[in-house]
Amino acid sequence: MTIPYHAALTSAQLLAEHKVKLHYFGQPESGSCLLRAQLCGQQCKSKGGNTIPCYPSLLLLVVALPSELGSQPAAAALQLPSSEGSAATSSSAEIFSLDLGGISAIVLNGYDAVKECLVHQSEVFADRPSLPLFKKLTNMGGLLNSRYGRGWTEHRKLAVSSFRCFGYGQKSFEHKISEESMFFLDAIDTYKGRPFDLKHLITNAVSNITNLIIFGERFTYEDTEFQHMIEIFSENIELVASASVFLYNSFPWIGILPFGKHQQLFKNAAEVYNFLLELIERVSKNRKPQSPRHFIDAYLDEMDRSENDPEATYSTKNLIFSVGELIIAGTETTTNVLRWAVLFMALYPNIQGQVHKEIDLVVGPNKTPSLEEKCKMPYTEAVLHEILRFCNIAPLGIFHATSKDTVVRGYSIPEGTTIITNLYSVHFDEKYWSNPEVFYPERFLDSSGQFIKKDAFVPFSLGLQECVRYYKERSRFSNYMYNNVLSISVVI
């Protein structure tokens, strides 16, 4: 089954005909990026000879040009017009292929297509693409980039268990989050009313919540060594998303060049690796086997148990990779959402007033909220969900790959194909969201003002039960942190 060929368009035409607002809160890199799509008419064939969806093939080149698209314009290129310039048909818009510099990829647009692949065929789409960059950085190990199989299952199961045992599952952990909020407030007070960028303080506060689970301790906001590591993590995220680093996947031989952003990424990764290794050795010094105090202890216990198992995937390297990925996942995304939360409280004083009123009514003045009180604050919950929907913390999700040949809506997709889930399109899918471009928390409330869940609300993607549970549980304790920051932001 073939999708009609679409004639080439210039980047100016592409962006002019599809005015997609890219909701990203942060400092864009100097010289914002503009996606230039170079369309080619080559058809893609699966192993069986059936044509996989070619919407068209794209070679995406990112160039530093002035624009108003911010630093994450990728979503704009995922809504493509037809060859006649009109809107594409729904079937061809939901699934199409890209040629990312020689890497075959399939893009899933809209909730229906994403759900069909990640839920109804969850095991088939649970793999990760074997990209040269990921092989270089983690050898496809750890949590984020591990291939679907035993290692994937073991590491995610341990992560979920650790977040439950050492984090949100413990009543005392709520007190630790509240305590961190107080450190956060004290740090704000040091500025004595002077303007400052909240990013640094929010990053520290959020990171410390994750640190308590991973290392069993927090770091002061003045700890220069850890601050440096956080800065490197943030820089690495920008580097991985840059075009010059992504080119490494298409042309890994450029790794021999002594210059370029990829070399900076590799240098940063080595520095982080050594720092985390020293930190792991320090926090595990007084460890008592099978009496874990935090994620590090729990992982080392698993290493001990599987010591004589030649198929075991627990190792020191995978521990370091997992710790680094947990810090990034638990810090970067939540930090961005909380910055959005503060921004929206400033932009919409009427919404801020309603949130403030509800928190005061349920929690009381000068008190911090608890998870048990969350269900009594439907409007605040609706605001949190609308922030997550609107800001799109992970607009393209995490890249997946097919573990075997499959068929989706009549299209053949071969094993090993990279899958890009356009979560941006899910949260702005007009089939499920009325006026999606409008920030409107009431969409999560019923006629009686009670909070209602929405199927197409997938800020942490969809997938196998372990993955879903992990992100849902992380979201649960993150919501508590959001409540704390919302209660703080309405009085800043």
Alpha carbon distances (Å) from 290 to 162, 275, 316: 13, 25, 17
- Rounded to whole angstroms, the Cα distance separating 414 from 130 reads 14
Residue of 477, 485, 479 lying closest to 170 (CA atoms): 477
354 Cβ contact list (under 8 Å, min separation 6)? 379
- Distance from CA of residue 284 to its chain's centroid? 29
Measuring CA to CA, which residue among 332, 327, 301 is closest to residue 314? 301
Binding residue ranges for heme = 467
Annotated binding site: 467
Cα separation of 481 and 165, whole Å? 18
Q: φ, ψ for residue 429 (rounded to 5)?
A: -80, 110
List CB contacts of 96: < 8 A, sequence separation 6 or more. 3, 53, 54, 55, 56, 80, 106, 107, 109
